[in-house]
Chains A and B, each alone.
Chain A
């Protein structure tokens, strides 16, 4: 068993053990320092979240005015941002198509997560179920290629898309589709390995009995393997989704106009050097984006921890 596997198993075992091992409660005299550590940790962990929450609802939308308890609770930061109606103090309006950013991010991250998972599952199935010439080489090559982070070649990707765009406009700069296909370049990476590992644990007898019933390999893939692997597919898709959502390098290099930006590129440009003035609407926008993603993460936390320890995608 590899050390990586052990790490994963221990992480998972630990996650389960917390629920199981609850017997006699120790006395507070012996445990007060543990509570103190936890509470200090929580204060540090939640400090930025608390300020964001309060600033989002505060009427004063400047950063100077930010306080832990809002002075006047109002929703106008949300309304102004959603209607692209954010004004600067000295007069003048910023162009912040927040809803476009959300939609673009959803399209890019959603399509990437779905397609990357599907392409990865195809590859994982081939590596898990077929024995063919060059299989071992293929697996090794995939691992080695993944050691080069894709965005390290950012200059080359930029020039590549620029040149493709000169020939095929829809895949050129400033196109959501171009960003998606560039992300899909990583579909055969770590995630495919993760899925291959899971597919390996699905008993071959199931394939065999389906084959006896006359199923083709494609039917076995769609009808037997994928349904059984549904949980791992969801986790892989979610990891891919969050990872894509967080990307700044590729999106900012390829997307050029405000209404084509993703949330990461848009929000960075929005707040830019305007921390003093636009803090309120920025906090509102952050909060709206943060809540669903964080909730999703918590919902699938247990499964993600095991996936992440295997792939170490985030952290």
Chain B
């Protein structure tokens, strides 16, 4: 990425700066002061509100950061010191840079070393609770109850329960099960249902049926980790846990056969007999280099990753080289003094580059559509054949490159044309006098000079296309898919693969793995851009 001084042509701008100048100047002075203070007041107001919400929700890490940041902003803008002057201009952009560029990068690094994914979202304590609830099962000869939902004196929901077998009656809350005196409860002779209870008001009719969801969530804990759960509005069964959590050893034991489930260090309790047998859900934990190891060693991930990796390089390289070659060729064709229609040609040829790219891509996806697309339907069918442009793995790759070249060529055409016209004619003329052929002159004189100018742009374009999400996703969606088990399609590049891992997949979301791939992308792009950057000596311009 070459960033240096911006040469803006010293031609008259397409609009008069006079009016803009006056409008902007009107903001300096007193109105400017007022606007500044208004912004500062709004920022502080927002911060106070945010602090209140954060304190209310007990975010004790975020709160001090917020307070410190707000105080720093106030000091910078209100304390007139010499050292705060540059900060006044740097703070606004830096806030956004920190919040939405630096923090995501740091967060990406953190997540890459964790197992954060579907099924590994909550903390360990929550996961243990969830596993215990999930393990509740009706035992073979467990107690069954006829129930009647009721309200106690304070209006709280309780259940009046009648044990069919023993005839005992209870009142159950979501805290405990308490026996009641048989005399206090009336039981229907036909159904065994409690019909009245002293001190409680039974819920009946429409209200009862509206409580379906509430009753489903109503659990009465009983001894030994068992629980009574409602089944509809008139019955309940006692469920027993099938797993027992051993706090001292930090492991679950399956009660039926005594199989032990141990913490595997990857955020799951795993059976000591069959390591594939995991208890759901797992929890979020740091797993070190596990995600990177998965990409390197586990064939399930390594194979698609390597395919995507190689294709990403092929896609970016071919797009840039073909675009440059074609753009340069057209530029050479048009680089002729006094050529008729030269300006018209130039203007029309850059249309693909001037159009909004996402629309071009969606339009191309339509044109290349197998069954309806005009390329097959109106053009190739005349010659008696059609091509599965987007449905065959290899043709889809060809399509992606063709469309990317269509999009990128005008850029290199413009740049090459400009560069060609800046090469002094005397040079090529001298080479011709020395007896050089046209091809020789091009290869020995024109091309090397051209590459000095265009070289950094080729590398920048490579870095851009390396992460050209749109060109893949809007054209093929990364597809077509050849294997059924893989998230990666045959035209997915690293960045679209990351996107699918993190967000758009039917197979759950694996933030950890997505972040690991993102970090690999970071390193590749940084290496490429960094090399180009140091070569271009842009550093010398940091003055």
Q: Which residues A186-211 have CB closer than 8 A to chain B?
A: 186-188, 190, 192-195, 197-198, 200-201
CB-contacts of B490-513 with A (<8 A): 495, 498-499, 501-503, 511
CB of B439 within 8 A of chain A?
no
CB of A155 to closest CB in B, whole Å: 3
Q: Which of B230-238, B257-265, B268-276, B326-334 contacts A (4 or more CB under 8 A)?
A: B326-334
Interface pick from B93-101, B130-138, B216-224: B93-101
B367 with A51: CB separation less than 8 A? yes
Query: Nearest chain B CB to A315's CB is how many angstroms away?
Result: 3
Q: Is A85 part of the binding interface, using a Cβ–Cβ cutoff of 8 Å?
A: no
Question: B359 to A286, Cβ gap below 8 A?
Answer: yes
A289 within 8 A of B: yes
- Mark A270-308 against chain B: 1 for CB-CB distance below 8 A, else 0: 010001100100110010011001100111111101111
Q: Which of B14, B333, B359, B378 contacts A38 (CB 8 A)?
A: B333
A83 close to B (CB within 8 Å):
no
B108 touches A227 (CB 8 A): no
Residues of B within 8 A of A294 (CB): 351, 354-356
- A11→B542 CA distance, assembly (Å): 23
Q: Report how far A168 CA is from B90 CA in the complex, Å.
A: 26
- Cβ–Cβ contact A26 & B456, under 8 A: no
Q: Is the CB of A158 within 8 A of B28?
A: no
Within 8 A of B (CB), among A137-151: 138-140, 143-151
With known contacts A14-B422, A246-B356, A194–B6 Cβ distance under 8 A:
yes
User: CA A290 – CA B357 in complex, angstroms?
Assistant: 10
Spot the interface stretch: B163-171, B429-437, B526-534: B526-534
Complex Cα spacing A276 to B461, Å:
34
Task: From the candidates B6, B373, B453, B474, name the one contacting A7 in the complex (CB within 8 A).
Answer: B453
Bound CA span A45–B360, Å: 11
Contact in complex: A154, B502 (CB < 8 Å): yes
Tell whether A155 pairs with B90 under 8 Å between CB atoms, given A8-B7, A222-B25, A222-B28: no
- Report how far A157 CA is from B514 CA in the complex, Å: 12
A315 contact from B27, B87, B351, B464, Cβ within 8 A: B464
Asked if B369 and A15 sit within 8 Å, CB to CB, the answer is: no
Q: Does A218 contact B (CB under 8 A)?
A: yes
Is B428 an interface residue, CB under 8 A from the partner? Answer: no
B17 in the interface (beta carbon within 8 A): yes
Q: How far is the CA of A203 from the CA of B378 in the complex (A)?
A: 60
Confirm or deny: A93 has a beta carbon within 8 angstroms of a beta carbon on chain B: no
Residues in B72-119 with C-beta less than 8 Å from chain A: 83, 85-90, 92-94, 96-97, 99-105, 107-108, 111
CB contacts (< 8 Å) of A222 on chain B: these are: 24-25, 27-28, 32
What residues of chain A lie closer than 8 Å to B352, measured between beta carbons? 45
Q: Residue A119 contacts which of B32, B96, B453, B518 (CB distance < 8 angstroms)?
A: B96
Which of A4, A126, A226 contacts B3 (CB under 8 A)? Answer: A4
Within the complex, the shortest CB–CB distance from B354 to chain A, in Å, comes to 4
Q: Which chain A positions have C-beta within 8 A of B92?
A: 119, 122
Contact status B411-A130, CB under 8 Å: no
A223: chain B residues at CB < 8 Å are 24-25, 28
State how many angstroms separate the Cβ of A194 from the closest Cβ of chain B. 5
B9 on the A face (CB < 8 A) = yes
Contact of A10 among B86, B337, B353, B422 (CB under 8 A): B422
Give the Cβ gap from A289 to chain B, nearest Cβ, in Å: 6
A217: B residues at CB distance < 8 A = 85, 88
Known contacts A167-B59, A303-B8, A158 near B20 by CB under 8 Å: no
- The CA-CA distance from A190 to B464 in the complex, in Å, is 13
* Max chain B Cβ within 10 angstroms of own Cβ: one of A150, A152, A184: A152
Contact-size category for A: 35 or more
How many inter-chain residue pairs (CB < 8 Å) link A and B? 461
B372 at the A/B interface (Cβ < 8 Å)?
yes
CA distance A220 to B195 in the complex (A): 85
Shortest CB-to-CB span from A168 to chain B, Å, is 7
Which one, A46, A143, A145, contacts B101 given CB within 8 A?
A145
Q: Is the CB–CB distance between B89 and A18 below 8 Å? A: no
Contacts of B3 in A (CB 8 A): 4, 143, 146, 190, 193-194, 197, 310-311
Is the CB–CB distance between A64 and B345 below 8 Å?
no
Q: Does B358 contact A (CB under 8 A)?
A: yes
Q: Does B156 contact A (CB under 8 A)?
A: no
Q: Judge whether B363 is part of the interface by a CB distance below 8 angstroms.
A: yes
The residue that B100 contacts in the complex, of A24, A135, A159, A181, with Cβ under 8 A, is: A181
1/0 per residue, CB under 8 A from A, across B421-463: the answer is 1100000000000000000000000000000111111001101
Chain A residues positioned under 8 Å from B333 (CB to CB): 33-34, 37-38
Cβ contacts under 8 Å, B498 to chain A: 152, 154-155
- Chain A neighbourhood of B177, CB < 8 A: none
User: Whose C-beta in chain B lies nearest to the C-beta of A220?
Assistant: B28
Q: Is B382 an interface residue (CB 8 A)?
A: no
Stretch at the interface among B197-205, B248-256, B412-420: B412-420
B408 interfacial by beta-carbon distance below 8 Å: yes
A249 to B521, alpha carbons, bound, how many Å? 16
CA distance A156 to B539 in the complex (A): 31
Given A42-B348, A231-B8, A307-B6: A153 and B330 interface contact (C-beta under 8 Å): no
State the Cβ distance, A138 to closest chain B Cβ, in Å. 7
Mind listing 20 A-B residue pairs with CB under 8 Å? A2-B537, A3-B2, A18-B346, A45-B352, A51-B367, A123-B93, A139-B542, A143-B533, A146-B3, A151-B467, A153-B518, A182-B100, A187-B97, A197-B3, A248-B358, A283-B363, A286-B362, A289-B356, A289-B359, A315-B412
Interface residues of A (CB under 8 A from B): 2-19, 21-26, 31, 33-35, 37-38, 41-42, 44-49, 51-52, 62-64, 66-68, 119-120, 122-123, 125-126, 130, 132, 135-136, 138-140, 143-160, 167-168, 181-182, 184-188, 190, 192-195, 197-198, 200-201, 215, 217-219, 221-223, 226-228, 230-232, 234-235, 242, 245-246, 248-249, 253, 263-264, 267-268, 271, 275-276, 279, 282-283, 286, 289-290, 293-294, 297-303, 305-312, 314-315
List the 8 closest pairs (A to B, CB-CB), nearest first.
A14-B418, A185-B100, A227-B21, A4-B2, A315-B411, A197-B5, A155-B502, A11-B418
| B interface residue numbers (CB < 8 A to A) | 1-9, 11, 13-15, 17, 20-22, 24-25, 27-29, 32, 36, 50, 53-54, 57, 59, 83, 85-90, 92-94, 96-97, 99-105, 107-108, 111, 329-330, 333-334, 336-343, 345-360, 362-367, 369, 371-374, 377-378, 406, 408, 410-412, 414-415, 417-422, 452-457, 460-461, 463-464, 467, 469-470, 473-474, 495, 498-499, 501-503, 511, 514-515, 518, 521-522, 525-526, 529-530, 533, 536-542
Known: A34-B333, A185-B99, A215-B28. 9 other contacts (CB 8 A): A2-B538, A11-B418, A11-B453, A38-B349, A45-B349, A147-B525, A187-B93, A310-B6, A311-B3
